[in-house]
Amino acid sequence: MTAAQLPQESNMSFTQKVCLALLCCLFISLVESNKVKIRGLSPAGQRSYHNGSVLIGVDLSTLNTDGTTFRCRDGSKTIPFSQVNDDFCDCESDGSDEPGTNACPNGKFYCRNIGSVGKTVFSSRVGDGICDCCDGSDEKLNPNSKCKNTCQADAREANKGRQQELDITLKGLSIKKEYIAKAERELREKRASISQIEEEVSKLRHKREEETATRDRLQKEEEEARAALQPAETVTPPPPTPVEEQPASDEQLEEFAEEGEYEEEESAEAEYKPSPSPPTHHAEDERLQPYVEATRKQREVVGDLDRQISEKERSLEDIKKAISQTYGHQNAFYGLLGNCYHADTPEYTYELCPFDKVNQNSKRGGGSTNLGTWSDSDQTDEWKSHQRQMRYTNGLRCWGGPDRSAIVNVLCGSDNVLSNPQEPNKCEYHLNFHTPAACSEEHAQFLRMELSGGSHEEEEDPEAVPVAKGWGLF
């Protein structure tokens, strides 16, 4: 029948219209009846092709034209479609042909959990007698299964948790707005203060040059005064040189006795005394005191200027470092700068100072151990794009091991709280840090949708790995 032969709508009788409607319904019913649902596949894994069958999520271009074969997800093997979920593992590398059985140890089974949240479990848990899915679908083919559908009850309990999480998120978002406003204000002030501090440092250096010249002049005057007051060296004359004694004759002795010369020589030697020591310089010290005091005071002036310059330069360096770092979207994490947060274990107190360091402080007097310091260059995309993880590196080297390091998982919270310190690998520490700065409006919107009964997204599979280009994930 051609288009021209079809009855016009205006000329169709009521009976013809009813028959046409019934024919359409019958056609749709036949198509739907030909669809094959693959047990254990997520909604994202169901894909329709030209004859109405539903396969694991693969690129349509990879299917044979007759639609009767199936390729493993990684493209390693092609098998008849009848061998999907036949309780025999054909796709040994990825287990993609057995999502609904436990034949493949590395396969995945999707729990639809209608009314609650869908999730993915290992296929090895299918039919093991343990209810992993709230809808009991993983044990549906187990004749001894006693799994009940608890999805509605689970959803109600989950909603309580979601509401609490939403309340925390909304409170955190309110505080985050304050953080952002503070960051904008303080960073603007810091940028503006750079030129002012640089000018102050320049003036202080100029003044220091002047005061240093004054100090040098006073030192020279003190040295000159000290030299002028230095007493001349006093020379003490030596005692008279005694005359070399010669044996005297009896006649000479008689003459000496008569004239008294012998006694006079002995008396002269006995009466000789050296000149007394020169007097102390107490008077001279008093005359030098004004010079000494003036030099001392000037040295203090120069030293005070040195301290002022050092403080200004350190402040300038800190400001330039602060404005050069990244503090997340809209600088929401800037408010954490300069603060430290603590978490206790029986033996240690862990300390996180955001954008600075992570320390491990012993409670037994063992001192503090640096677990890592912050560097923008060490951060991964988990921080740069998402602000979900901070990395602190180059900590104190372990005995016979690597340098210590710390990974801080950043989570939304209504308060700044450090928790759950662990050492999963030698000298690698993991901590959780809840902060309002990590809260997002997108997550709040997701929680609202969940609470309003919106469609639940498939739970992310933590074991999912990339596959060959052109092949879908299930």
Residue 333 has pLDDT above 90, yes or no: yes
Q: Does 393 share its domain with 415?
A: yes
Higher per-residue pLDDT: 240 or 209: 209
What pLDDT is recorded for position 472?
Answer: 26
Q: Does 312 share its domain with 347?
A: no
Helix (H, G, I), strand (E, B) or coil at 393: strand
Candidate from 81-85, 238-242, 332-336 with smallest mean pLDDT: 238-242
Taking Cα atoms as reference points, which of 136, 120, 126 lies closest to residue 458?
120
Whose tokens are 């950043």? That residue is: 410
CB 345 within 8 A of CB 351: no
The Cβ-side half-sphere exposure at 62, using a 13 Å CA radius, reads: 21
Domain assignment present for residue 8? The answer is no
In sequence order, which ranges of 246-380 are alpha helices (DSSP H)? 250-259, 261-271, 282-324
123-158 per-position pLDDT tens digit: 888 888 899 999 998 888 888 888 999 998 988 888
Taking Cα atoms as reference points, which of 359, 383, 376 lies closest to residue 438?
383
What pLDDT is recorded for position 42?
Answer: 55
The residue out of 88, 119, 149 marking a domain boundary is: 149
What is the rounded distance in angstroms from the CA atom of residue 248 to the CA atom of residue 252?
6
Binning pLDDT at 50, 70 and 90, where does residue 10 land?
A: very low
In this prediction, residues 203-209 reach a mean pLDDT of 94
Q: Does 43 share its domain with 128?
A: yes
pTM: 0.56
Residue 286 has pLDDT above 90, yes or no: no
In this prediction, residues 245-261 reach a mean pLDDT of 52
CB-based contacts of 211, cutoff 8 Å, min separation 6: 298, 301, 302, 305
Residue 193 has pLDDT above 60, yes or no: yes
Q: Does 87 share its domain with 206?
A: no
Candidate from 107-116, 268-277, 298-307, 421-430 with smallest mean pLDDT: 268-277
Residue 237 has pLDDT above 80, yes or no: no
What is the rounded distance in angstroms from the CA atom of residue 302 to the CA atom of residue 308?
10
Average pLDDT along the chain: 78
Give DSSP secondary structure letters for 181-228.
HHHHHHHHHHHHHHHHHHHHHHHHHHHHHHHHHHHHHHHHHHHHHHHH
User: Torsion over CA of 57, 63, 68 and 72, rounded to 10 degrees?
Assistant: -60
What pLDDT is recorded for position 182?
Answer: 95
Q: Does 301 share its domain with 356?
A: no
Report, in angstroms and rounded to the nearest whole number, the Rg of the chain calculated over CA atoms. Answer: 48
Taking Cα atoms as reference points, which of 455, 451, 442, 448 lies closest to residue 386?
442
Q: Does 184 share its domain with 319?
A: yes
Count CB atoms within 10 A of the CB of residue 299.
Answer: 15
What is the rounded distance in angstroms from the CA atom of residue 329 to the CA atom of residue 243?
108
Higher per-residue pLDDT: 30 or 99: 99
Domain assignment present for residue 15? The answer is no
CB 118 within 8 A of CB 82: no
Domain assignment present for residue 256? The answer is no
What is the rounded distance in angstroms from the CA atom of residue 37 to the CA atom of residue 42?
11
What is the rounded distance in angstroms from the CA atom of residue 393 to the CA atom of residue 409?
15
Q: Does 82 share its domain with 136?
A: yes
Q: How many domains does the chain have?
A: 3
Whose tokens are 């109600």? That residue is: 156
What is the rounded distance in angstroms from the CA atom of residue 45 to the CA atom of residue 460?
13
Domain assignment present for residue 137? The answer is yes
**Which structural domain range is residue 145 located in?**
33-149
In this prediction, residues 215-232 reach a mean pLDDT of 85
Domain assignment present for residue 5? The answer is no
CB 133 within 8 A of CB 124: no
CA angle 149, 151, 155 (to 5 degrees): 160
Give DSSP secondary structure letters for 215-240.
HHHHHHHHHHHHHHTSPPPPPPPPPP
Buried b (16+ CB within 10 A) or exposed e, 225-256: beeeeeeeeeeeeeeeeeeeeeeeeeeeeeee
Q: Does 175 share its domain with 313?
A: yes
Q: Does 292 share its domain with 175?
A: yes
419-462 per-position pLDDT tens digit: 999 999 999 999 999 999 999 999 999 999 888 865 454 444 44
What is the rounded distance in angstroms from the CA atom of residue 300 to the CA atom of residue 305?
9
CA angle 387, 391, 396 (to 5 degrees): 160
374-383 per-position pLDDT tens digit: 988 888 888 8
CB-based contacts of 292, cutoff 8 Å, min separation 6: 222
Q: Does 186 share its domain with 207?
A: yes
Residue 326 has pLDDT above 50, yes or no: yes
List the CATH number of the domain containing 412: 2.70.130.10
Q: Does 320 share its domain with 403?
A: no
Domain assignment present for residue 465? The answer is no
The residue out of 127, 149, 171 marking a domain boundary is: 149
Q: How far is CA 420 from CA 194, 228, 343, 391, 433, in A?
A: 40, 76, 7, 16, 9
What is the rounded distance in angstroms from the CA atom of residue 106 to the CA atom of residue 100?
12
What pLDDT is recorded for position 202?
Answer: 94
Domain assignment present for residue 387? The answer is yes
| C-alpha 194, offset from chain centre | 27
Q: Does 304 share its domain with 390?
A: no
The residue out of 149, 180, 214 marking a domain boundary is: 149
Residue 8 has pLDDT above 60, yes or no: no
Domain assignment present for residue 7? The answer is no
Instruction: Phi first, then psi: give them for residue 282, nearest 5 degrees.
Output: -60, -40
32-71 per-position pLDDT tens digit: 444 445 555 555 555 433 333 444 333 344 444 356 788 8
